[in-house]
Amino acid sequence: QSALTQPPSASGSPGQSVTISCTGTSSDVGRYDYVSWYQHHPGKAPKLIIYDVTKRPSGVPDRFSGSKSGNTASLTVSGLQAEDEADYYCMSNAGKDPYVLGTGTKVTVL
């Protein structure tokens, strides 16, 4: 099972929005509504911020939102803040492969 494709980097100024794509295939992202997103500050534990494509765990700000169209899922961070600068990873279920991870995107707040 190949990794899901994410852009290596994305950036935005404070207050702006940034959207990160996560492209898979009809066997994973396109087939199941089981896409999750993780925020990772280096040296810390990764944090679940979106699951089931659009759901936010308790405590995650509504500035984080998820969506999906066809084989591509997206994470949008609205109202960018300095603390949003981190690496972001998507993940999908792919049937026989329970966890297929994305290549990761480094978000920079300018």
Chain contacts with another protein (rule: CB under 8 A): 1, 3, 32, 34, 36, 38, 43-48, 51-52, 55, 57, 89, 91-93, 97-104
CB of 63 to another protein, least distance (A): 20
Residue 13 or 96 having the CB closest to another protein: 96
DSSP per residue, 35-92: EEEEEE-TTS--EEEEBTTTB--TT--TTEEEEEETTEEEEEE-S--GGG-EEEEEEE
CB atoms within 10 A of CB 15: 10
Residue 26 or 44 having the CB closest to another protein: 44
Residue 79 or 95 having the CB closest to another protein: 95
